[in-house]
């Protein structure tokens, strides 16, 4: 196993770094480095900049308009953008549904949907979870009934991240009640502007509007929006989930946040405390270990060996690390980081900073927000079950 980068890979890294420095708007990277709220325009604006360069679909093969990068190049791109303070690419379009359309969609669907995803023009949402169907996704009840050349969709999805901005939504819908629950599910693309679609906000613990409930009331969806075969949606859904879980690990963001933690600890004086430094060191070791795990997977992929099915493992460790750095930042600020000041998440907020240090103001919000990481994308308890079955045997 060779974990060092070749001179060509180093050169590639330099090129990405220089391009990002030139093209990432400063006001966006300022927000990211300080954990301030990103607006729709920030997120989509950056997506479009990447799209123009042909890098929004950075994991795509050349035949579908992607750069055709190796796994290592993709990793270097993710690292350089994260460290420079670029927002995370909203994964639903380019990282999640696009690979499904490439693998299982027909040529017509590929021609119709992929360009809007690659350019960042079309915002996608994920319609998997329902009330009562989260971990047990195979129990989804949202019904799609075939009537001539249309499906009539009725039901409800929930926890739809940023669904308030969604143009299109990919959904798991029930098309049959015969046999095992998994065999009656289909994968349907739905225009969120269709009559009968209602999006309602859910407020999270941190006071933010990040997730939604989406209701379908006799929504007509052209049958041509079905991906692959009817009742085979479970297979396509699983293909997508492995992309989601690898993406959630987000080791590069953890590296950036580790630096933020150190900055806060130094300003607050706790960096001098040996015990606090030990905690930072433990976190750093965990981040390096996670990075090694990611590189091992990449190295195995490059040398043509089968990588372990470690998507679940990466998700578990990555999400725990995200919660840990949010906790340590709170500890570093002590009582000054306790007030929940939602407005402090907005760039340019001029209110009273706790303890006089503006870096502390968004910490409680971030801490609450990070509670989600061990739940979404498949809860960590369920991931442990999967790892126990598939990796440990
Ligand atoms: C912030 C956020 C954003 C999200 N965004 C989206 C989105 O955009 N689209 C989407 O479709 N979904 C989204 N989700 C939903 C997410 O995927 C589900 O919350 C997740 O799969 C867990 O399902 P659940 O919430 O129904 O919990 P449940 O499945 O009801 O689980 C409740 C608890 O029981 C535990 N549990 C359940 N089954 C087992 C088992 N077999 N063994 C051990 N423990 C078990 C779980 O770990 C959990 O602690 C989002 C969730 C959050 C919190």
Sketch the domain layout of the chain as residue ranges: 7-89, 124-231, 250-392
pLDDT given at position 356: 85
pLDDT given at position 152: 98
- d(CA 156, CA 141) in angstroms, rounded, equals 8
- pTM for this entry: 0.94
- d(CA 44, CA 47) in angstroms, rounded, equals 5
Distance in Å, CA 134 to ligand 1 centroid: 5
* CB burial of residue 133 (10 Å; 0-12, 13-18, 19+): buried
- Closest listed residue to residue 96, CA positions, set 250, 254, 316, 248: 248
Which residues partner with 198 through β-bridges? 215
- d(CA 114, CA 101) in angstroms, rounded, equals 8
- CB of 229 closer than 8 Å to CB of 214: no
Residue 84, token pair as written in the block: 């420079």
* Atom 35 of ligand 1, residue of closest alpha carbon: 381
- d(CA 216, CA 247) in angstroms, rounded, equals 29
Distance in Å, CA 176 to ligand 1 centroid: 24
Rounded mean pLDDT, 17-22: 98
Distance in Å, CA 210 to ligand 1 centroid: 16
Nearest ligand 1 atom to alpha carbon 131: 26
| Residue 174 pLDDT greater than 60, yes or no | yes
- d(CA 97, CA 166) in angstroms, rounded, equals 13
Distance in Å, CA 127 to ligand 1 centroid: 13
- d(CA 361, CA 37) in angstroms, rounded, equals 12
pLDDT given at position 303: 65
**CA-to-CA separations, 349 to 31, 344, 356, 367, in angstroms, rounded:** 12, 6, 13, 19
Long-range contacts of 334-338 (CB under 8 A, 24+ apart): 334/268, 334/270, 336/268, 336/360, 337/363, 337/364, 338/364
Strand stretches in 23-105, DSSP E? none
| Topology agreement, domain 124-231 and domain 250-392 | no
pLDDT given at position 290: 94
β-strand 143-147 against 150-158: which pairing, if any?
Answer: antiparallel
**CA-to-CA separations, 105 to 85, 125, 225, in angstroms, rounded:** 34, 18, 9
- CB of 185 closer than 8 Å to CB of 237: yes
* Atom 40 of ligand 1, residue of closest alpha carbon: 382
What's the CATH architecture for 124-231? Beta Barrel (2.40)
To the question of domain 250-392 being in CATH 1.10.260.40, the answer is no
Rounded mean pLDDT, 333-346: 91
Distance in Å, CA 291 to ligand 1 centroid: 26
| Residue 309 pLDDT greater than 80, yes or no | no
pLDDT given at position 238: 84
- d(CA 318, CA 303) in angstroms, rounded, equals 25
Choose which residue among 165, 188, 375 to substitute to test ligand 1 binding: the one with the highest number of ligand atoms within 8 A of its C-beta.
375
State residue 252 phi and psi, 5-degree precision.
Answer: -70, -35
Rounded mean pLDDT, 147-171: 98
Average pLDDT across the chain, whole number: 93
| Residue 304 pLDDT greater than 70, yes or no | no
β-strand 209-222 against 150-158: which pairing, if any?
Answer: antiparallel
Nearest ligand 1 atom to alpha carbon 129: 11
The 10 Å Cβ neighbour count of residue 183 is 15
- CB of 332 closer than 8 Å to CB of 265: yes
* Atom 32 of ligand 1, residue of closest alpha carbon: 135
Residues 6+ positions from 130 with CB-CB distance below 8 Å: 140, 141, 142, 155, 156, 157, 158
- Closest listed residue to residue 276, CA positions, set 327, 337, 339: 327
Distance in Å, CA 130 to ligand 1 centroid: 10
pLDDT given at position 134: 95
- CB of 227 closer than 8 Å to CB of 151: no
Residues 224-270 have pLDDT tens digits of: 999 999 999 999 998 777 666 666 788 999 999 999 999 999 999 99
Element (H, E) at 173: strand 168-174
- Closest listed residue to residue 377, CA positions, set 228, 210, 247, 234: 247
pLDDT given at position 192: 98
For 171, left (φ over 0), alpha (ψ -120 to 50), or beta? Answer: beta
| 347: Cα within 13 Å, side-chain hemisphere | 14
Choose which residue among 382, 385, 388, 389 to substitute to test ligand 1 binding: the one with the highest number of ligand atoms within 8 A of its C-beta.
382
- d(CA 277, CA 265) in angstroms, rounded, equals 9
Rounded mean pLDDT, 84-109: 96
Distance in Å, CA 71 to ligand 1 centroid: 29
pLDDT given at position 173: 98
- CB of 287 closer than 8 Å to CB of 277: no
State residue 56 phi and psi, 5-degree precision.
Answer: -70, -40
Q: What lines the ligand 1 site, CB under 6 Å?
A: 126-129, 134-135, 159-161, 211, 372, 375-379, 381-382, 385
- The residue behind tokens 């997506």 is 47
pLDDT given at position 61: 96
Residue 318, token pair as written in the block: 């990555």
Distance in Å, CA 140 to ligand 1 centroid: 13
């Amino acid at each position: 196993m060779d974990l060092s980068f070749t001179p060509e890979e180093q050169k590639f890294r330099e090129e990405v770094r220089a391009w990002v420095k030139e093209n990432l708007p400063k006001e966006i990277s300022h927000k990211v480095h300080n954990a301030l709220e990103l607006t729709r325009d920030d997120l989509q604006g950056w997506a479009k900049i990447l799209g123009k360069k042909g890098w929004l679909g950075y994991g795509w093969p050349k035949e579908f308009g992607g750069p055709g990068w190796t796994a290592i190049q993709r990793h270097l791109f993710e690292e350089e953008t994260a460290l420079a303070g670029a927002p995370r690419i909203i994964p639903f379009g380019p990282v999640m549904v696009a690979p499904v359309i490439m693998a299982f969609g027909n040529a017509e669907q590929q021609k119709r949907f992929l360009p809007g995803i690659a350019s960042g023009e079309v915002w996608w949402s994920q319609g998997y979870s329902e009330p009562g169907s989260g971990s047990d996704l195979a129990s989804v009840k949202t019904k799609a009934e075939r009537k001539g050349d249309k499906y009539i969709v009725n039901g409800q999805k929930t926890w739809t991240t940023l669904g308030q901005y969604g143009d299109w939504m990919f959904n798991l819908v029930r098309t049959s009640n015969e046999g095992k629950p998994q065999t009656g599910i289909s994968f349907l693309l739905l225009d969120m502007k269709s009559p009968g679609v209602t999006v309602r906000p859910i407020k999270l613990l941190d006071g933010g509007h990040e997730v939604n409930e989406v209701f379908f009331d006799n929504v007509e969806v052209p049958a041509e929006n079905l991906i692959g075969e009817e009742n085979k949606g479970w297979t396509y859904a699983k293909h997508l989930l492995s992309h989601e879980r690898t993406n959630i690990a987000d080791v590069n963001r953890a590296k950036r946040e580790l630096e933020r933690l150190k900055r806060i600890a130094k300003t607050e004086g706790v960096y001098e405390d040996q015990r606090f430094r030990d905690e930072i060191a433990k976190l750093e070791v965990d981040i390096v270990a996670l990075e090694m795990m990611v590189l091992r997977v990449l190295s195995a992929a490059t040398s043509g060996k089968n990588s372990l099915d470690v998507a679940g493992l990466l998700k578990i460790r990555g999400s725990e690390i995200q919660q840990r750095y949010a906790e340590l930042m709170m500890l570093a600020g002590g009582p000054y980081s306790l007030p929940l000041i939602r407005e402090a998440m907005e760039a340019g907020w001029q209110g009273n900073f706790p303890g006089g240090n503006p870096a502390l103001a968004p910490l409680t919000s971030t801490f609450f927000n990070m509670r989600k990481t061990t739940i979404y994308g498949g809860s960590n308890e369920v991931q442990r079950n999967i790892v126990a079955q598939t990796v440990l045997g």
